[in-house]
Amino acid sequence: MNNSNIIITNIKELVGILPKNKLVLGGKEMNELSILKNAFIEVQEDKIQSFGSMKDLKLKDTQNIFDANGGSVLPSWNDSHTHLVFAKSREKEFIDKINGLSYEQIAKKGGGILNSALHLEKISEKTLYENSKQRLKNIINLGTGAIEIKSGYGLSLEGELKILRTIKRLKETFDIEIKSTFLGAHALPTKYKNKREKYLDLIIYEMLPNIHKEGLADYIDVFCETNYFNVDELDRILDAGAKFNLKPKVHVNQFTSIGGIQKAIEHKAISVDHLEIMEENDYDSLRNSSTIATLLPSCSFFIDIAYAPARKLMDKNIPFALASDLNPGSSPNGNMNLVNSLACIKMKILPEAVINASTINGAYAMEISNLTGSITVGKQANLIITKPIESYPYLFYSFGENCIERTMVKGKWNK
Ligand code: NIG
Ligand code: FE
């Protein structure tokens, strides 16, 4: 089928229509979702050309028709927080967890991020790329239409470059928007155990300049957490990143609230991610900033910790995005449909807000909500076509069921 012009007809519900100037939604707005029933949408090249009611559709001979046949159409999911490039799964730790060990206890006995770094050191860049490519293909077929990917399992100059070069190759291979984030400060490598300062120097004076030279990162991240990196270290690393024009997207408040949110906001972070543990002053800081919160319910599910207080964020008018956190330790699943179900079930967020959080707000958390994240004329044709379903909440209600018929990125069908 020639993809340059496609018209999708007989859409039961065309979901997530937004005006061009709506780039992020917060508070009550998150519960509003604009829908057109019995609709069509027209795609020209890589963009949304028009949409409307089936009764107003006038077909031209040149148009390729795809009959949605009672399926619904939504904007693709925008997954703004992943660690998709990793060497190996960690199911041994899964067994440890079943046997009662916590995420922190597993990390202390040599599991966790350091375990992933050992595997990363051994894998060739070629195999790392092939594995990551397959992983990305799978999640694109599950409806993801833009993604952020972090480094952070290298923890050495060569290792971090290996991951970031792999992300660069993925950017070159795939049509979907990919944002790349440097997370050198993910954990302190074993050989720096008593030389913390030396590792910070390595990040600041070796990794960052080399990453910059090859143009490998869009953002900078730090795992700011008790037993990982403290607020002063966050400050120094974000300062160093700023010298290379890297804006922050940071891990904060996963286990403890230690001031990471405030420091990230001071550095004009694009997003603060996790937020399972929040103090009152954390909400105040966020409410007065343009930094978006990013919540990761599948991480809470998998390592069995608290869920971020999504409803409270909504009540306080603080916008948030939902993301998968795909990684081998705390969320070995990049399926945004499951993330969305968990947000409904465990965070008590209505399907309307969940869709907004995973589409337009996810795009905002990657600074691409002017390009994608809604059904808007002129935006990228990044679409999910569902199987025939009764109504869109069914997508999350039927958790674990794959309701997706087809997905499209920039006007091209995915296989
Ligand atoms: O976002 N919290 C820090 N980093 C990852 C987990 C990394 C791992 O366990 O491999 C996260 O949950
Ligand atoms: Fe993460």
Mind giving me the DSSP string for 239-304?
A: HHHHHTTPEEEEEESSS--SSHHHHHHHTT-SEEEE--S--HHHHHHHHTSSPEEEE-HHHHHHHT
Quick check: 302 and 106 in contact, CB under 8 A? no
Look at residues 356, 364, 358 and name the one whose alpha carbon lies nearest to residue 28: 356
SS3 assignment, position 399: coil
Look at residues 312, 208, 304 and name the one whose alpha carbon lies nearest to residue 293: 312
Return the residue matching tokens 């050198």. Answer: 184
Structure confidence at residue 141 (pLDDT): 98
Mean pLDDT in residue range 242-267? 98
User: pLDDT digit string (tens) for 317-342?
Assistant: 999 999 999 999 999 999 999 999 99
CA of 57 to the centre of ligand 1 (A): 48
Which of 101, 256, 330, 333 maximizes ligand 1 atoms within 8 Å of its Cβ, making it the mutation to test the pocket? 330
CA of 157 to the centre of ligand 1 (A): 20
Q: Where does ligand 1 bind, in terms of residues with CB under 6 Å? A: 112-113, 116, 223, 251, 254, 299, 325, 327-330
Measured between alpha carbons, how far is 123 from 9 in angstroms, rounded to an integer? 46
List the domain boundaries for the chain.
Answer: 5-74+375-413, 78-364
- Please say if the pLDDT value at position 213 is more than 70: yes
The mean pLDDT value of the chain amounts to: 97
- Comparing 41-50, 65-74, 109-118, 401-410, which segment has the lowest mean pLDDT? 109-118
Quick check: 337 and 142 in contact, CB under 8 A? yes
User: pLDDT digit string (tens) for 154-172?
Assistant: 999 999 999 999 999 999 9
Mean pLDDT in residue range 102-121? 92
Return the residue matching tokens 């939902």. Answer: 322
User: pLDDT digit string (tens) for 295-304?
Assistant: 999 999 999 9
Mean pLDDT in residue range 245-273? 98
Record: fold of 5-74+375-413: Urease, subunit C; domain 1 (2.30.40)
Give the sign of the dihedral formed by CA 109, CA 114, CA 120, CA 122.
negative
- Please say if the pLDDT value at position 272 is more than 70: yes
Tokens (6 digits) for 307: 């869920």
CA of 15 to the centre of ligand 2 (A): 29
- Please say if the pLDDT value at position 12 is more than 70: yes
Measured between alpha carbons, how far is 26 from 51 in angstroms, rounded to an integer? 26
Quick check: 403 and 338 in contact, CB under 8 A? no
Ligand nearest to the CA of 79: 2
Class of domain 78-364 as given by CATH: alpha beta
Mean pLDDT in residue range 116-126? 97
Q: pTM for the complete prediction?
A: 0.97
Structure confidence at residue 107 (pLDDT): 86
Which of 251, 253, 301, 307 maximizes ligand 1 atoms within 8 Å of its Cβ, making it the mutation to test the pocket? 251
Which atom of ligand 1 lies at the shortest distance from residue 329's CA? 9
Measured between alpha carbons, how far is 261 from 22 in angstroms, rounded to an integer? 25
Strands 64-67 and 5-15: parallel
Give the sign of the dihedral formed by CA 243, CA 249, CA 250, CA 253.
positive
Query: What's the burial of 320, exposed, middle or buried (CB within 10 Å: 0-12/13-18/19+)?
Result: buried
| CB-based neighbours (< 5 A) of ligand 2, an ion | 325
CA of 107 to the centre of ligand 2 (A): 15
Kindly give the residue spans of alpha helices, DSSP state H, lying in 153-206. Answer: 157-173, 196-201
- Comparing 54-63, 179-188, 244-253, which segment has the lowest mean pLDDT? 54-63
Ligand nearest to the CA of 225: 1
Q: Which residue has the higher pLDDT, 63 or 81?
A: 81
- Please say if the pLDDT value at position 34 is more than 90: yes
Q: Whose CA is nearest to atom 9 of ligand 1?
A: 329
- Please say if the pLDDT value at position 279 is more than 70: yes
Structure confidence at residue 3 (pLDDT): 56
For residue 241, the tally of other CB atoms under 10 A from its CB is: 26
CA 67 to chain centre: 30
Task: Name the phi and psi angles at 225, rounded to 5.
Answer: -165, 150
For residue 10, the tally of other CB atoms under 10 A from its CB is: 17
Q: Whose CA is nearest to atom 3 of ligand 1?
A: 223
Look at residues 246, 303, 313, 216 and name the one whose alpha carbon lies nearest to residue 273: 313
Measured between alpha carbons, how far is 286 from 30 in angstroms, rounded to an integer? 17
Structure confidence at residue 137 (pLDDT): 98
Which of 83, 188, 339 maximizes ligand 1 atoms within 8 Å of its Cβ, making it the mutation to test the pocket? 83
Structure confidence at residue 415 (pLDDT): 80
Which of 101, 102, 104, 223 maximizes ligand 1 atoms within 8 Å of its Cβ, making it the mutation to test the pocket? 223
Query: What's the burial of 102, exposed, middle or buried (CB within 10 Å: 0-12/13-18/19+)?
Result: middle
DSSP state letter for 80: -
